[in-house]
Amino acid sequence: MTPSGLAEPHPDSRTASVEAPTDWSTVSADPHHRSVAPAWLERPADANGLAPAVWPAAAARDADGVLELGGIPATALRERFGTPLYVVDEDEVRQAARRTLDAFRAAAALHGVQARVYYAGKAFLSTEVVRWVTEEGLAVDVCSGGELAVALAAGADPARLGFHGNNKSVAELERAVEVGIGSIVIDSLIEIERLAAIVERRGATQAVLLRVNSGVHAETHDFLATAHEDQKFGFTLTDAPAAVARIRELGGLEFVGLHCHIGSQIFGTAGFEESAARLVELHAELREGGELPVLNLGGGFGIAYTSVDDPTPIEQLALGIAESVARQCEVRGIPMPNLAFEPGRAIVGRAGVTLYEVGTTKPVALESGDTRLYVSVDGGMSDNARPALYGAQFSARIASRTSDVEPALARVVGKHCESGDIVVDAEYLPGDVSPGDLLAVPATGAYCFSLASNYNYVSRPPVVALRGGEARVIVRGETIDDLLARDAGLSTVRDGRELAGAPTEGRQRMPVLSERSESK
């Protein structure tokens, strides 16, 4: 750490010596080149522009053309913290949390019920983020013992935590019951028995929901509705009544309602409406066996990753979903339950920007006769797995300057030993994009930090939060010593010094062969 308490720049990320820019726009200005651009991608008049829906509201260019995030030049962030760097705008997270909560509360109130909004911690969890969202009035949902530990370490009220997941261990369930978790979403018959035994042993009562699979799966614009979805989560609509009956037989479990999550990055209300119709039918049937105060419809609300993405505003989604549940309840002559939601991406996605430094640029001739410009940065699939995992699209801008050079179509790639290591599949960047340029990728607040890995022994970047013109580290970056500290084949001493942070267990030498074969 520096004397000011700030992390030292990552040693691998020293500014590359800036070489004379090459104008790649002549390559991609070729009319044939258009064929390697995806159909959706428009060639911008200005490849320096910041699409407002994609960037944090406070992102802007300063008088020198440098990208400012939260009032701080991206170049100053590079100098202090190095690259790659996750940057998160705290005000943007807080504002999204408030807006989402207000939207669902207002929509529910129109029908005389309440709405609870859980922040889906899996999108991006750290103690700071838990504090921000809980201060803004959100509850938090977790799906592992580790996520539960982070939420508790942040001081979250256990009664305002939800816990779901298809394979919670006995230890994880024990811990959740021990701390007095608000609700547990049951995912299998085995889990009913497992949880009931824990609750009985502890003499506790535990509120539970049942995860159901409505047969509706939604992704961005489309949804698919089937009788049975072939996936691991929850109970089918057909199997759910028997599971609920079993829960109700068991004294320590208090069944409070159904839970469903139909997918991610959803732009419209149609999938939610179809799913709600199916759920309310089951909800009505189950009410005959006792009150059901809650219906949890999960998360999945989409955000803009590129300038062509046009997600439905959260207020409109909230109104549409609440209206459709109300309609279904009216048809069946039952009171409307309180609603619960679990947005993750919609809370943190747009608040995050990842900064990288360009290391190399390379035109690659394609068989079609086209040329694709590859721009390599100093991170990649280890800090953003979404393109490799899901074919997700992102956008990018040079952050350290603007340029008048014509736009060139580029593919931004990482430094990993994997050809699928793509950060931004297709983007127009100024044609003089060069080594040493700072590149910013917006909308990386969700499922980037949380899906990060150490592939190729690349250490995970720090997370820096911005607020009031100040930047502070909220998760420190890893060092190579952090990674080596887990290697049990190593001596505890390197270069004459003790390896930092090595847990005692982790530093024991590997057992000799005979010991290993004995334990087999």
Query: Which of 356, 400, 361, 411 is closest to 379 using CA atoms?
Result: 356
**Binding of residue 216 to ligand PLP (CB under 6 A):** no
Q: Is 264 in the site for ligand PLP (CB under 6 A)?
A: yes
Q: What is the 3-state secondary structure (H, E, C) of 472-508?
A: EEEECCCCHHHHHCCCCCCCCEECCEECCCCCCHHHC
Q: For ligand PLP, give the closer residue by CB, 140 or 409.
A: 140
CA nearest neighbour of 99 among 350, 452, 370, 475: 350
Residue 268 interacting with ligand PLP (CB under 6 A): no
Assign 3-class secondary structure to 372-401: EEEEEECCCCCCCCHHHHHCCCCCCEECCC
422 φ/ψ angles, rounded to the nearest 5 degrees:
-110, 135
Site for ligand PLP in 303-342 (CB under 6 A): 342
Cα–Cα distance list, 107 to 25, 284, 314, 320, 498 (Å) = 49, 21, 10, 8, 58
Among 78, 164, 175, 278, binds ligand PLP (CB under 6 A): 164
Closest CA to 117 of 152, 147, 180, 160: 160
**# chain residues binding ligand PLP, by CB under 6 A:** 15
Q: HSE, CB side, 13 Å, CA atoms: give it for residue 292.
A: 27
Q: Does 160 participate in binding ligand PLP (rule CB under 6 A)?
A: no
Q: Is 417 an active-site residue?
A: yes
Residue 31-50 contact track with ligand PLP, rule CB under 6 A, x = bound: --------------------
Confirm or reject binding of residue 343 to ligand PLP (CB under 6 A). Answer: yes
DSSP state of 367: T
**Which string of x and - marks every residue 220-259 that binds ligand PLP (by CB under 6 A)?**
----------------------------------------
- Return the residues of window 109-128 that contact ligand PLP according to CB under 6 A: 120, 123
300 binds ligand PLP, rule: CB under 6 A? yes
| Least separation in angstroms between CB 345 and ligand PLP | 4
- Residue 338 CB, nearest distance to ligand PLP (Å)? 17
The Cα–Cα gap between 480 and 495 comes to 13
Tell me if 294 contacts ligand PLP by CB under 6 A: no
Q: Does 261 bind ligand PLP (CB under 6 A)?
A: yes
Query: Strand pairing of 493-494 and 497-498?
Result: antiparallel
Query: For 444, phi and psi rounded to 5 degrees?
Result: -105, 20
Nearer to ligand PLP, 257 or 344 (CB): 344
Helices then strands, counting H and E runs in the chain, come out as: 14, 26
Among 56, 182, 252, 344, binds ligand PLP (CB under 6 A): 344
Cβ closer to ligand PLP: 339 or 499?
339
254 neighbors 181 (Cβ within 8 angstroms): no
CB of 259 to ligand PLP, least distance (A): 7
Q: Which of 143, 260, 329, 417 is catalytic?
A: 417
CA 466 to chain centroid, in Å, comes to: 18
Residues 49-108 that bind ligand PLP (CB under 6 A): none
Query: Where along the sequence are the contacts to ligand PLP (CB under 6 A)?
Result: 120, 123, 164, 261, 264, 298-301, 342-346, 446
Catalytic residue set: 417
